[in-house]
Amino acid sequence: MQNPEINPALAGALAERGYDTLTSVQSGVIAEEADGRDLIVSAKTGSGKTVAFGLAMAAQLLDGERAPWTREPLALVIAPTRELAIQVSKELQWLYAPAQGQVVTCVGGMDPIKERRALAGGAHIVVGTPGRLRDHLERGALDLSALRVVVLDEADEMLDMGFREELEEILDATPDGRRTLLFSATMPRPIVALARRYQRNALRIETIGEREAHADIAYQAVAVSPTDIEHVVVNLLRLHEAETAILFCATREAVRRLHASLTERGFHAVALSGEHSQNERNNALQSLRDRRARVCVATDVAARGIDLPSVSLVIHVELPRDAEALQHRSGRTGRAGRKGVAVLIVPFRRRRNVEAMLRSARITAEWIAPPTPEQIREKDLSRLLQTLSAPIEADEEDRQFAEQLMAQLSPEAIAAALVRSLRTDLPAPEDILLPGDRDERGDAGPRAGFEGSTWFRINAGRRHNADPRWLLPLICRYGHVGRNDIGAIRVAANESYFEVTPRATPGFLKALRRATIAPEDDGLVIEPAPPRAVEQAAGPARQRGAKPKSKRVSA
């Protein structure tokens, strides 16, 4: 690669790897105005950041085209997770190999004695995770007195994971004259504060535009009943049949439960959470890399630093806590120029919250209906036809067997048997209640047993995709009543109203007072309804002179 701003030794390494052009972030860090300055770089995952900071710090590491002999490291790269640190280390090793640069990796889960021995032998670049680096620093095995440049890779994730104290201790031990390169996909306040404390006159390099940040990711959102979340996950996986999919949950227990459910249904899935050992984590990631598994169920923290270019589908099974978490999760797909899909599964009462989160993240999401079994079967047939239409190279044994089949079976029978055999391993799609499948439970007339019924209000309406057949099991579960004790259900714009038989009303009220709202139903409110609100919800029936069968009840 011919570029006057790149050291010839590194240019040779890039040429051997097939580089003919630089990405925007790589060009930005070696530009004339960035020479020797502290940098704050915003770049999305998969944009070539590792090579970028490898090129940026070459002037501080190399004398001519060679790295000078040194016992103390000249550069320190800090990454949030073991996987990312190892990945960065491998990239820097081939980049600096022509210059004879030595790279030492220090991460949790590895033998610390071997790491200390490697550090004592001398290294130009040390790459590590915050906890292990601090441990070596406190034991005297890591000497930062000669350090010329520090790189904080994915700094926002390190702060999210609680490494502020470790980062500050490490940075405080570095020389005042060192150069600091900060790479972060987002710039929350803690990152800004860190930059102000440890950088001087930093140059901001912004390679993520509002649209470019999500250009390779198609965002979708599907509003569902909380009771259908798992079914929607199954159907999304079956609809996309992604090479690799990551499913995000909020807790270890949720990961454990969903992983078990998917495995039982026939999906080849692995789990990643804080309860898994490093060895289990390594095995899970290797299963995804060699295609033995295609689905990864993970918590936010456990998925940090995962580098799987084959991920084309991310499903937010449980909603992220904020816009930054949404971006971090979704960033596992759409990497290195590949296209990806990120789907948010939204309990219908949380739709407003999600819409606000998307606006905050400047993301435009398409609201879609849950995939139906019919759509999935149609997609299966399309994929199957594409697979069978692909050209193949058959050997003599295959041709002989094909001739035997043709002699014994008709073409239709052979095709049917082939289709059946190819579809055998596919998990069955789930039936999902769609908005069009409503049990209206309207006001066609008074039902027996509902004379003098009590009306209640629930804070979910059409805006939340509420539906009578979604609401009915929810009401029965929290009110400890049967379906036959619930009468008409009227869905308004922002709330819904339903009637309860006089016989069941006392127990219903008592159950509501004792009810504990489940996490997936966060924000749910069920309370007696004001008569005027019920009359307004009746709509045309009231205009025809019908009198609402309701009375005011105080809990």
Residues 123 and 263 in one domain: no
- Same domain membership, residue 140 and residue 13: yes
The yes-or-no verdict on residue 436 having pLDDT over 60 is: no
Q: Quick one: 366 and 380 in the same domain?
A: no
Residue 307 · residue 244 · CB < 8 Å: no
Reference 344, options 232, 221, 218; nearest CA is: 221
Assess if residue 195 is contained within a domain. yes
User: pLDDT tens digit string along 196-245?
Assistant: 999 998 999 887 654 455 567 899 999 987 778 899 999 999 999 999 99
383 or 241: whose pLDDT is higher? 241
Do 195 and 239 share a domain, yes or no?
A: no
107 within a domain of the structure (yes/no): yes
In tens, the pLDDT along 479-522 reads 888 888 888 888 888 899 999 999 899 999 999 988 887 776 77
Give the model's pLDDT for residue 345: 95
Q: Which two tokens stand for residue 175?
A: 């020389």
Instruction: Report whether pLDDT(429) > 60.
Output: yes
Share of the chain above pLDDT 90, in %: 42
* Residue 489 maps to a domain: yes
Do 310 and 166 fall into the same domain?
no
User: For residue 80, what are the contacts with CB-CB under 8 A and spacing of at least 6?
Assistant: 129, 130, 153, 154, 157, 158, 161, 163, 304, 305
In this structure, the answer to whether residues 286 and 171 fall within a common structural domain is no
CA distances to 73, 104, 123 from 70, rounded to whole Å, are 7, 13, 7
Instruction: Rounding to the nearest 10 degrees, give the CA dihedral for residues 402, 403, 406, 408.
Output: -110
Residue 344 shares a structural domain with residue 255 = yes
Looking at 148, 180, 206, the residue that finishes a domain is 206
Domain shared by 231 and 113, yes or no: no
Q: Confirm whether 100 is domain-assigned.
A: yes
The answer to whether residue 64 sits within a structural domain is yes
The whole-number average pLDDT for the span 347-370 is 89
Could you give the CA distance from residue 493 to residue 395 in angstroms, rounded to a whole number? Answer: 65
Task: Determine the Cα–Cα distance for residues 337 and 340; give it in Å rounded to an integer.
Answer: 9
Instruction: Give the helix/strand (H/E) hosting 114.
Output: helix 112-120
Output the six-digit token pair for 281. 């984590």
Rounded to 10°, the helix 189-198/164-172 angle is 10
In terms of pLDDT, which residue wins out, 346 or 274?
Answer: 346
Q: Is residue 165 part of a domain?
A: yes
State the pLDDT at residue 245.
95
Q: Are residues 316 and 357 in the same domain?
A: yes
Domain membership of residue 396 (yes or no) is no
> Token pair of 351, please?
């739709």
- Report, as an integer, the average pLDDT of 422-445: 60
Alpha carbons 213 and 184: distance in angstroms, whole number: 13
Note the pLDDT tens digit of each residue in 165-192.
999 999 999 999 999 999 887 777 888 8
- Among candidates 258, 238, 472, 270, which has minimal Cα distance to 371? 238
Q: 290 and 246: one domain?
A: yes
Write the CATH number for 167. Answer: 3.40.50.300
Q: What's the total number of domains in the chain?
A: 4
Would you state the structure tokens that stand for residue 512, as one six-digit string? Answer: 């509501």
How far apart are alpha carbons 452 and 501 in whole angstroms? 8
pLDDT at 546: 38
Q: Which two tokens stand for residue 446?
A: 């008074």
Q: Residue 35 falls within a domain, yes or no? A: yes
Look up residue 208 and give its two tokens: 């993520």
Q: Express each pLDDT in 123-174 by its tens digit.
A: 999 999 999 999 999 999 999 999 999 999 988 878 877 889 999 999 999 9
Q: Of 185, 206, 227, which residue sits at a domain end? A: 206
For residue 106, what are the β-bridge partners? 128
Domain CATH for 503: 3.30.70.330
For residues 73 and 118, membership in a common domain is answered with yes
Q: Are residues 91 and 224 in the same domain?
A: no
Domain extent for 239: 215-371
